[in-house]
């Protein structure tokens, strides 16, 4: 299929109709940016953004239900299926914060609009010029002044225009470069790479939120090792996470990529990857500070803390300090899910940093998972209140310890998970603890 045919086939009907309506009002209409790139790369686009020569005011006159989306004049037009973003062709004015232009200028040509975009693979358009006729889905024209399709086919990431200027205008592009390289397995072209290196210092002006979002995008992609290695090699990591950069090793990007990779038995695992990225940092507070700087949500922060604690338990179990039963009960108490015990060993094996005991340990945990061996207090045949009553002590922190020791005994097959056996064992455990 030609790229035009592929784009025609992929365009949702409401997008095609909207392009037709724009055209019947005498305006040009193009699908631009990510959607064109994704279709040519054989992927389903997340969103279908349109560009037009109509000004926001003209759009609102032609489409009474349109709404302004942001201060740069992007307009959202409801199609009945979705609200499609339509943006007037523009050039960006100068930027005083190395991030956003202070103002934008509306222009009349798609070519100028494509020239303001960051990378050639993001600077392609597909659609109708205002003076052509007919059905946009049938008469679609492909506009690619910067050779985006060739770069995509050759797997090259290249800045549009003067690379040095492009990264100075907007330092976020340094991180976007790493993300797109990871997502589409692209090599960053040398002039573009040199420009990223020169602009690396400017990333200190970016918000932690944007940095964190780009890092997560890299970690969620097919080849995070490409973007991570680029961020380190081009000096960006030194600015966005100096502590991590200091402890960087050449094999780290690959270890991160191995977590949740298609051939591993865990589904793609962005959280495991983020934890793996932070493995070189042994101090929890330093690791937490990086996540705080990147404005990661509270839930992510606590999940990472759990993975780190589970990882330390796994290291102990691998060297034989605790057996697989105790390890699994311990991890279940940390994360609330007994299956995290096996999961963490699989991660360590995937990253090739597990100790020799890991395979036996993993087999033990997987067997226990398959047999639904209890590992959580709620899975015991007696609850905490019954234990306190039986032992005749006021409920307190000791209950958790007794429950853990019961779970370990049950897991080892020393006692049955039945009330009488558990209560008798609980008395013995409590007595020996006092
Ligand atoms: P994604 O699938 O991640 O959304 P995308 O390419 O659609 O990828 P967006 O951030 O949604 O990325 O931006 C849409 C388009 O706008 C891009 O394809 C690019 O042409 C342009 N663009 C976005 N951000 C920038 C930027 N910081 N500098 C230059 N152009 C940009
Ligand atoms: Mg997008």
Please list the pLDDT of the chain residue by residue as tens digits (434 residues): 788 888 888 999 999 999 989 989 989 999 999 999 999 999 999 999 999 999 999 999 999 999 877 777 799 999 999 999 999 999 987 777 777 787 889 998 999 999 999 999 999 999 865 455 555 454 568 999 999 999 999 999 999 999 999 999 999 999 999 999 999 999 999 999 999 999 999 999 999 999 999 999 999 999 999 999 999 999 999 999 999 999 999 999 999 999 987 666 777 899 999 999 999 999 999 999 999 999 999 999 999 999 999 999 999 999 999 999 999 999 999 999 999 999 999 999 999 999 999 999 999 999 999 999 999 999 999 999 999 998 888 888 889 999 999 999 999 999 999 999 999 999 988 777 66
Q: What residue owns the CA closest to ligand 1's atom 2? A: 34
Coil vs helix vs strand at 354: coil
Q: From the CB of 269, is ligand 1 less than 6 Å away?
A: no
Q: Which atom of ligand 1 is found nearest the CA of 114?
A: 20
Q: From the CB of 260, is ligand 1 less than 6 Å away?
A: no
Which residues are in the CB-under-5-Å shell of ion ligand 2? 34, 47
Q: Which ligand is in closest contact with the Cα of 47?
A: 2
User: What's the pLDDT score for residue 112?
Assistant: 94
Q: What residue owns the CA closest to ligand 1's atom 28? A: 118
Q: Which ligand is in closest contact with the Cα of 165?
A: 1
Q: From the CB of 272, is ligand 1 less than 6 Å away?
A: no
Coil vs helix vs strand at 371: coil
Q: What residue owns the CA closest to ligand 1's atom 6? A: 34
Q: Looking at residue 236, what DSSP letter applies?
A: S
Q: Which mutation among 34, 41, 101, 211 tests ligand 1's pocket best, with the greatest number of atoms within 8 A of CB?
A: 34
Pairing of strands 83-88, 50-52: parallel
Q: Which mutation among 30, 31, 32, 33 tests ligand 1's pocket best, with the greatest number of atoms within 8 A of CB?
A: 33
User: 3-147 has which fold?
Assistant: Beta Polymerase; domain 2 (3.30.460)
Pairing of strands 156-157, 29-32: unpaired
Alpha carbon of 388 to ligand 2 centroid (Å): 57
Gap between the Cα atoms of 49 and 114, Å rounded: 13
Q: From the CB of 224, is ligand 1 less than 6 Å away?
A: no
Gap between the Cα atoms of 328 and 42, Å rounded: 42
Distances (CA, A) of 368 to 23, 188, 266, 277, 406: 64, 46, 18, 29, 15
Alpha carbon of 427 to ligand 1 centroid (Å): 64
* pTM, to two decimals: 0.91
Place of tokens 């796994």: 314
First vs last C-alpha separation in the chain: 77
Q: From the CB of 33, is ligand 1 less than 6 Å away?
A: yes
For residue 348 the two structure tokens come to: 């360590």
Q: Which ligand is in closest contact with the Cα of 161?
A: 1
User: What's the pLDDT score for residue 179?
Assistant: 98
Q: From the CB of 223, is ligand 1 less than 6 Å away?
A: no
HSE-CB of 294 using CA atoms within 13 angstroms: 26
CATH superfamily of 156-262: cca-adding enzyme, domain 2 (1.10.3090.10)
């Amino acid at each position: 299929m030609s790229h035009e045919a592929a784009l025609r086939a992929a365009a949702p009907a409401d997008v095609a109709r909207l392009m037709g309506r724009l055209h019947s009002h005498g305006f040009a209409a193009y699908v631009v940016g990510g959607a064109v790139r994704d279709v040519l790369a054989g992927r389903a686009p997340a969103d279908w953004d349109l560009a037009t020569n109509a000004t926001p005011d003209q759009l609102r006159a032609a489409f009474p239900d349109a709404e302004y989306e942001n201060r740069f004049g992007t307009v959202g037009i409801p199609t009945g299926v979705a609200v499609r973003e339509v943006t007037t062709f523009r050039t960006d004015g100068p930027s005083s914060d190395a991030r956003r232009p202070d103002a934008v200028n509306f222009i009349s040509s798609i070519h100028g609009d494509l020239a303001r975009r960051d990378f050639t693979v993001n600077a392609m358009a597909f659609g109708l010029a205002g003076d052509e006729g007919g059905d946009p889905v049938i008469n679609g024209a492909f506009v690619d002044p910067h050779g985006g399709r060739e770069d995509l086919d050759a797997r090259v990431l290249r800045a549009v225009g003067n690379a040095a200027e492009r990264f100075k205008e907007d330092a976020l592009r340094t991180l976007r470069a790493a993300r797109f390289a990871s997502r589409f397995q692209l090599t960053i072209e040398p002039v573009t790479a040199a420009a990223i290196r020169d602009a690396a210092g400017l990333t200190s002006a970016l918000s932690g939120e944007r940095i964190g979002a780009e890092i997560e995008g890299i970690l969620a992609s097919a080849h995070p090792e490409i973007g991570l290695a680029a961020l380190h090699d081009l000096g960006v990591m030194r600015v966005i996470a100096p502590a991590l950069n200091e402890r960087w090793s050449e094999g780290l990007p690959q270890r991160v990529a191995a977590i949740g990779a298609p051939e591993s038995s865990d589904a793609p695992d962005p959280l495991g990857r983020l934890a793996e990225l932070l493995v070189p940092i042994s101090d929890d507070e330093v690791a937490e500070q990086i996540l705080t700087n990147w404005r990661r949500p509270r839930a992510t922060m606590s999940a990472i803390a759990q993975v780190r604690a589970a990882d330390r338990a796994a290291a102990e179990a691998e060297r034989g300090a605790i057996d697989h039963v105790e390890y699994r009960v311990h991890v279940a108490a940390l994360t609330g899910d007994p299956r995290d015990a096996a999961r963490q060993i699989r991660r360590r094996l995937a990253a090739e940093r597990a100790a020799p005991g890991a395979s036996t340990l993993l087999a033990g945990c997987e067997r226990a998972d398959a047999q639904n061996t209890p590992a959580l207090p709620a899975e015991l045949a007696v609850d905490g209140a019954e234990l306190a009553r039986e032992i005749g002590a006021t409920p307190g922190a000791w209950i958790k310890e007794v429950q853990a020791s019961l779970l370990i005994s049950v897991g080892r097959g020393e006692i049955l998970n039945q009330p009488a056996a558990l209560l008798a064992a609980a008395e013995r455990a409590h007595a020996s603890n006092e």
